[in-house]
A and B are shown apart, each in its own frame.
Chain A
Amino acid sequence: GDSVTQTEGLVTLTKGLPVMLNCTYQTTYSPFLFWYVQHLNEAPKLLLKSSTDNKRTEHQGFYATLHKSSSSFHLQKSSVQLSDSALYFCALSDGPNYNVLYFGSGTKLTVEP
């Protein structure tokens, strides 16, 4: 069945460094991938999304590229800020009706001064 794997549960970085959060997925349908961000005591919000192979999508300084050949949709940022500390979820829209999102277990990013 459809599934999403996020390998890092916790990532801690110093402000200004680059970050990559891993996301791989499994599906037999055409993939639609999402990254959601959840700040402390807030609701998850969409950060970015893509269904186009090998095309970089960007939002708020974060970017990701869907690679169908490797079933990956890693989230990156070139220079993290303190305000980027949050929980990040990768999600896959299920096929063939795309009514449901499958979420990964999440990666908690902590940015230190």
Chain B
Amino acid sequence: EAAVTQSPRNKVAVTGGKVTLSCNQTNNHNNMYWYRQDTGHGLRLIHYSYGAGSTEKGDIPDGYKASRPSQENFSLILELATPSQTSVYFCASGDPGQGMAEQFFGPGTRLTVL
């Protein structure tokens, strides 16, 4: 079974503060992804990575940075957190292959920005 873990699981931050969400996968997948989930919007892609050292912008990258220091780890960074970034964040990993590859999701991080 695929294993994607996230930390912290819950986070309360103050407006203007820096927040780092961490993700680790033991699947040896090349690709990793960060999504946010809000009611009515489904899962929206923030950043993704093809491998160590690479980061790519997804559909909603503004206000977020990403870092992929190794095959296993992928971080999402909010340099100046705002209340609009209050959400549930999911990390996922996968290998696209020929297009039918599954993405495996972590348990999520609930972020509240006050």
Contacts and interface: CB of A to CB of B under 8 A. Distances in A.
Interface string B64-106: 0000000000000000000000000010000011111111011
A42 B100 CA distance: 23
Contacts of B99: 30, 32, 51, 93, 95, 98
Contacts of B48: 99-100
A95 B103 CA distance: 16
B103 A101 contact: yes
A92 to B, nearest CB: 10
Interface in A76-108: 89, 93, 95, 97-101, 103-106
A104 B44 CA distance: 9
A101 B102 CA distance: 10
Nearest to B45: A100
Given A43-B105, A43-B107, A46-B102, A99 B31 contact: yes
Q: Please tell me the size bucket of the interface on B.
A: 20 to 34
B37 to A, nearest CB: 8
Q: Please tell me the size bucket of the interface on A.
A: 20 to 34
Contacts of A101: 45, 103
A90 B108 CA distance: 19
A49 B44 CA distance: 20
Given A43-B106, A44-B43, A105-B41, A93 B50 contact: no
Given A43-B90, A43-B105, A43-B107, A98 B96 contact: yes
Which of A6, A49, A95, A100 has its CB near the most chain B CB atoms (within 10 A)? A100
A9 interface: yes
A103 B50 CA distance: 19
Contacts of B44: 103
Given A32-B100, A98-B98, A43 B42 contact: no
Interface of A: 6, 9, 30, 32, 34, 42-46, 49, 51, 89, 93, 95, 97-101, 103-106
> Which 4 pairs show the lowest CB-CB distances between chains A and B?
A98-B99, A43-B105, A32-B99, A105-B42
